[in-house]
Structure 1
Amino acid sequence: MQKDLLRLMRNPSLLPSEKQDLLTHIANQSASMNMPCYIVGGFVRDLLLEKPVKDFDIVVEGDAIKLGEALVKKHGGKLTAHHKFSTAIWFVHENEFVDLITARSEVYEHAGALPTVKPSTIDDDIRRRDFSINAMAVRIDGDHFGELLDPLNGQNDLKEKTVRVLHPHSFIDDPTRIFRAIRYEQRYGFKIEPNALKMISQESFEILSKLSGERIRHEFDLIFAEVNSSKMIFRLGELGALGAFHHQLPELNEKYSELFNSKTPDEFGISNNQVMLGYLLWLLDSPMEMVRSISNRLDFSADLSDAVRAVLHLKNELPTFADFRPSTWTARLDKVPLISIYVLWLVTKEAALKEFLTKWRHVKTNITGDDLIARGIAPGPRYKEILTRLRAAWLDGEVKNQMEEKELLMLLL
């Protein structure tokens, strides 16, 4: 197994060479300090599944802050230390950082609370984790480099494609694990084991319902960032979990499920925002009052709330736009978040929405405000009215060149 892990860790298609170099620095430094050092959690899981890994957490049996200070002294960068938790973040450079964590155990004072932590051993640290497939570690210091620690048989669960919790109160201690179980199940094509499914019960839902909107929304954010996000929402509904967050939280309309992974075409000039796209598709068929209530419960950001409300209003108004000229469409759509227009185009394929996104919104007049001021028109309602009228003329094909634009301006003055 050590040879297999070494082979995987040295595969640049799984772990980029610069990450391998970073691991070597950490391994050498921890060995020189006689500090047992491990990579834990998702890194090990994905490596054994032979999937590319981007980030890794380092756990040491010792003082993680001292290890971080030594790494900064030798290799540069900056360190942010959290003495209360005996953890540190080594900012290697602007786009690279590593979490350094002292091995610890956790105690939940009450169901749903954040845990109280205290320093401990790597074995305790592994056993505090959520699922067996995340309860593995690879030791990297000295001659131990590449040794797998798997006290809870996580590797076998990977082979069996099973998501297994580590103790019977897992979902009660931390009900957000329900989200994570579903994410792993759908991401990897696994199955939540039967005993774990039984634990996803009304008791855990009741605790889940008491969590802050921010914590719940964060879990939905993570879901909508996934490739299989629509399947995850369906699964939450299937297990009866959606009602725990809000009594009106809707299940997903199946006809939108294939749209969740849509990549915005370059011609649209809109940056991809998979998370916001997911929320808009999910709530697209919901009544406005329900959306307002959900927005408050899940503590939506102002941008997200505005985008959701805008797409609902626009969807309801769309049938009345049939005979609108480009200038009328543009006057209405100029006020709408671009992501909302894009989502409605995805669903309806209304040609005018695409025209706005790709062409109309970019139309500008050649005559500027400075030109109007030079002609004695001060900024104000009349000033704005003229510029709006000139732009509408360009949009509707009423003027096609600068000469025609100037002629129209003379008529307006």
Structure 2
Amino acid sequence: MPDYMFLLDSRLAPEQRAVLAQVQASAHAHGINLYLAGGAVRDLITGMPIRDLDFIVEGNPLRIAHDMEKHGARILEADEDTRHVEMLFAGQVDGSISGARDEIYDYPGTEPHIRWSTAVDEMKRRDFSINAIAISLNPASRGLLLDPTNGLADIEQNREVRVLSIHSFTNRPVRLLRAIRYSVRLGFKLEARTAEWFALALQRGLLEKIPPEHVGREVRQVTREENPIAVLQAWEKHGLISAIHPQLARRHPDYKGLAALEKARDLMMSAGMRIPSTESFAPYVRYILGRLKSSDQTRTVNRLGFRKEEVEALRRLDAEADKIVKILKGPARKLLPTGKGAPKGKVAEARATYDYLESVPRGLLAYILAEYTQPAAISKIRTYLAKWKPLRFSLPAGELEAMGMPRGPQFDKVLEELFNLQLVGRGRNLQDRAKLLRKLAGIKPEAKRKEEKKEEKKGKGKTATPVSGAAPAKTASGKAAPPAAPASPEVAAGKKAVPQATAKAAASQKVDSEKAQAGRQKPASAKGGGAPPRSKQKARKR
């Protein structure tokens, strides 16, 4: 059996892991049994990205929800009758906390009586087997898989969407929309009996009986799908799109606009920017309803029971986008602060543009890329996504640390200054970046530092060196020999002393002297030639 807690830890994003830890701590403090269920477990098993964290508690979920508010979470919707709380946890993590319950129907299709129950009963009452799986987060059974309807086999082996009751579509007609949405998302087929009951439900006209607010929740889910176009087209194929508005079956959603929006979303994802579900809602709904008349759009939005903030975001979408485009198409210097000492120049303008785009909601950036064609504004957004964001995510902190600079405020300041220069194209390759880092940090290049150390060492170790380079001679006793006697004045002047000679040599010298006088020539010894004097030879031998 797989270690599901290990899988969770390795598959969750850091923000999701933090939320998981916070919810577990709160449940433990209140003595409430806690389970991770539904989509998170299904996505964990299928290997898909885990988008939502849906928790089941055997108790009151509001106690944990209020604890999460202290950690920065926001309650989006709370239904006290069903004890279901839609949450936006800290770090823009989507999810929910629900109380485990059982539902008892007097007749198929009527409103159920709710009874608070266990996690196993909660799994059995759910819509499809693939959503009826939970993982225990309780200390005594942590990591235990609850699968009372054999949903694991439907995911891993059968690869099919299976309802849990013959009355499933009758009790909740919105499951018609959900069945197709899951089928498209997972690439599964409808299980044989499920397909029969699906067709029977459509023949009985159950599509028209879906409560509008349930349709609105499904539309909200479509805006969060990886491939919303495929889901909408599948709804059209099965005759379900009219649940949103009867005219959509003839007019169709704006698929061209949706495709452009998906392209923009993918560009942002490649830059490491996920669009929060609260920000993606308005642009997607705008294109889903975009081919309807303006009055029909307004009525549909009101009828589907969207949240107040969602309706407001839809209403302000175009006005907000126009405002942003107007600012971006103007000169960047207008984004700079004014007054004495305010920064100026291309580097300051680039940083001001970056900071402004950082402040714009991501959903609006995606909508502008999909809807607008203004060259200057689009160019700045694309530069921000394709060049600037990757640079921001790859600041060379490790390189700076390796150069010997300790972490601290000055360390961060150097990285910020480098990033500002990179915005205008400087220091983007390895060599230039290293030079800039050293300059900004005041660190001398390694070669120069070695050269200075070498020069310093050479200056400290200078000594007088003999011209000949030979070591002084030593006597037999091991002591240095005494210095040689100074040369005679004649030798010092460059003259040779005349040695004593034999009688024969004296006679020869006399003849030579006479010849020299006759030819007015100097003897060869005056030029320094000939053999050295015998006394000097003896001195060298010593």
1: CA distance between counterparts of 2:200 and 2:48? 35
* Kept in 2: contact 1:40–1:57 (CA 8 A): yes
Q: Of residues 37, 41, 56 in structure 1, which corresponds to 2:53?
A: 56
The residue that corresponds to 2:222 in the other structure is 223
Q: State the shift of 1:14 in Å.
A: 5.7
Tell me the CA shift for residue 222 of structure 1.
1.8
Give the secondary structure class of the aligned counterpart of 1:38. strand
Q: Which residue of 2 aligns with 1:103?
A: 100
Judging changes above 3 Å, is the alpha-carbon distance between structure 1 residues 142 and 189 closer, same or farther for their aligned structure 2 residues? same
The 1-side partners of 2:206 and 2:222 are apart by 20
Farther-moved stretch of structure 1 (287-296 vs 140-149):
287-296
Does the 8 A contact of 2:52 with 2:93 survive in 1? no
Cα 1:274/1:341, change in 2 over 3 Å: closer
User: Pairwise mapping of residues 200-349 of structure 1 onto structure 2 (< 5 A)?
Assistant: 200-201=198-199, 203-204=201-202, 206-249=205-248, 250-252=251-253, 258-263=259-264, 273-286=279-292, 294=300, 298=304, 301=311, 304=314, 346=370
Contact 1:14/1:50, CA 8 A, preserved across alignment: no
- 1:194 matched to which residue of 2? 192
How has the CA–CA distance of structure 1 residues 60 and 291 changed in structure 2, closer, same or farther, with 3 Å as cutoff? closer
Which whole-Å CA distance do the structure 2 matches of 1:307 and 1:79 have between them? 22
With normalisation by structure 1, the TM-score equals 0.59
Q: CA deviation at 1:88?
A: 7.6
Match of 2:183 in 1: 185
Distance 1:195 1:344, change over 3 A: farther
Q: How does 1:30-41 map to 2 (within 5 A)?
A: 33=31, 36-41=33-38
AA matched with 2:169? F
Q: Distance in 1 between matches of 2:120 and 2:137?
A: 16
- SS of match in other structure, 2:7: helix
Alpha carbons 1:14, 1:47 under 8 Å: kept: no
Partners of 2:257 and 2:74 in 1: CA distance: 45
Question: What do residues 82-113 of structure 1 show as CA deviations (whole Å, max 9, x unaligned)?
Answer: 87656789999797898554421013466666
**1:155 alignment partner, one of 146, 152, 155:** 152
Single out whichever of 145-154 and 178-187 deviates more from structure 2.
Answer: 178-187
1:144 is paired with a residue whose SS is coil
Distance in 1, Cα, partners of 2:289 & 2:364: 12
Structure with the bigger RCO (C-alpha within 8 Å, sep 6+) is 1
Preserved contact between residue 68 and residue 79 of structure 1 (Cα < 8 Å)? no
Aligned residue for 1:47? Answer: 44
For each residue in 1:27-66, what CA deviation from the matched residue of structure 2 results, as whole angstroms up to 9, or x when unmatched? Answer: 7547xx4x654222222112222344354343344x3469
Distance 1:341 1:45 in 2: 31
Q: Is the 8 A contact 2:128 2:161 kept in 1?
A: yes
From the superposition, tell whether residues 346 and 66 of structure 1 become closer, same or farther in structure 2 (CA, over 3 Å): closer
* Distance of 1:158 and 1:79 partners within structure 2: 32
Contact 2:258 2:284 in 1 (8 A): no
When normalised by structure 2's length, the TM-score is: 0.47
Secondary structure of the residue aligned to 2:10 is coil
User: Is the alpha carbon distance of 1:289 and 1:197 closer, same or farther for their aligned partners in structure 2, counting shifts above 3 Å?
Assistant: farther
CA distance in 2, matches of 1:90, 1:307: 23
Measured at CA, do residues 82 and 223 of structure 1 come closer, stay the same or move farther in structure 2, by a change above 3 Å?
Answer: closer
Number of aligned residue pairs: give it: 319
> CA separation in 1, counterparts of 2:166 and 2:149?
15
Confirm or deny: 8 A CA contact 2:85 2:97 kept in the other structure.
yes
Contact 1:86 1:102 (C-alpha < 8 Å) held by counterparts: yes
**Residues 299 and 82 (structure 1 numbering): CA distance in 2 closer, same or farther, change over 3 Å?**
closer
Counterpart for residue 138 of structure 1:
135
CA contact (8 A) 1:10 1:20 kept: no
Higher-Rg member (1/2): 2
Q: Tell me the distance in 1 between the aligned counterparts of 2:74 and 2:196.
A: 43
Distance, in Å, in 2 between the alignment partners of 1:79 and 1:247 is: 34
**Does the CA contact (< 8 Å) of 2:173 and 2:209 recur in 1?**
no
Per-residue displacement from partner, 1:303-359 (whole Å, max 9, x unpaired)? 647879xxxxxxxxxxxxxxxxxxxxxxxxxxxxxx999979857x86xx5568779
Provide the identity percentage.
26
Which residue number corresponds to residue 383 of structure 1? none
**In structure 2, C-alpha distance between the alignment counterparts of 1:168 and 1:244, rounded to whole Å:** 22
Question: SS where residue 130 of structure 1 aligns?
Answer: coil
Q: CA RMSD in A?
A: 4.9
- 2:18 is matched by which residue type in structure 1? E
Distance 1:99 1:343, change over 3 A: closer
User: Matches of 1:138 and 1:156 in 2, distance apart?
Assistant: 16
**What 5-or-longer segments of structure 2 have no aligned partner?**
269-274, 319-362, 381-542
Q: Distance in 2 between matches of 1:88 and 1:298?
A: 19
Q: 3-state SS of the aligned residue for 1:56?
A: strand
Partner of 2:18 in structure 1?
18
The yes-or-no answer on 1:116 pairing with 2:117 is no
| Alignment gaps of 5+ in structure 1 | 309-338, 360-413
